[in-house]
Structure 1
Amino acid sequence: MGRYEIAFSGKLVAGAQLELVQANMAKLFQADATRVAMLFSGRRVILKNNLDEATAEKYRVTLERAGALVEVLSMEPVIEEVELAPPPEPEPEVQSAPAAAETQAGVRNRLKVVPRDEYMAAFVGVDAPDFGIAPVGADLQDSKPQAPAPRFDLSSLSLAPVGSDMGQAKSSAVEPPPDTSHLRLEERK
């Protein structure tokens, strides 16, 4: 059982007058002039959604009588069937003698992937390192190279003699607190 939506993009039934159709739409939807103007802006607007087929057809007929040309669209997603490609045929490799020796040395630490089913056939051409399992207690992180100490040129700096004034802010004289003798607390009843 499908669900449908009604979409309107401002198109009119052949021979319909715009002002009359706008008045009909305002009456049908009990909408003011600004909402009706939004319907006729040219943008696609969904008027109703999640309708069964019979109700969607009733809306379409009613709106066409009012002069509005609407679309009834299915809300069901389109599911596309995809056929999987067969696994690629392995190509015979032709190599020179030195290249073959390099390849044999490099293949030693490479993982050979054999597909277990048609879905894994996509990974036949994957060239991945063969990571084994480290013994218990082994350090798995590579050691960091020692960073060289930064070089700073401090030759233009000098130290002031002990006890010298280096321009610290002078403390201001302590001012007396404000006079509060004229203030008193009274209890309200």
Structure 2
Amino acid sequence: MSRFEVAFSGQTVPGIPLDTVKSNLARLFQADEQRIALLFSGRRVVIKNNLDAAGAEKYRTVMERAGALVEVVDLDAAIEEIELAPPPADPQAPQPLKVAPRDEYMAAFSDVEAPDFGLAPVGADLQDAKAEAQGPQLDLSEFSVAPVGSDMGQAKAAPAAPVPDTSHLKLME
């Protein structure tokens, strides 16, 4: 059993005004103007997926009656695989070096194609130059610096509680 998806790309039935199609779709989907605008954004929007053939055809006919042309895609269709041809050889491109392996271990890597990197001269900078970092532009004109030793508005300590009067207390033996 094949599965289908119904997608809309903003195409309308010829001869039907765009405003009519938008109002028909708003009524059909019970959607507000913002959601209908998303349907007509120019991108492909999947309306419904995982439908059987009858359900997909029903969606297509209802949408077509509303003035919108939809695309019904078979999700289970076989995808044709295409094998790309290798790019043509550039006669001016440098040819890879052929190196004879020094032992049995290195012979395993003899078929590896790697780019032929050259060596930089002694003292050359191998890292790309970086642009100078720019600090943020801040307006600090409303701030000033207080003189050394001035009170910066720290909270004052609460005054100590008064010493309780203990003159009326006596010790007895």
Task: Give the structure with higher Rg (CA).
Answer: 1
Higher relative contact order (CA 8 A, sep 6+): 2
TM-score, length of structure 1 as denominator length: 0.46
TM-score, length of structure 2 as denominator length: 0.50
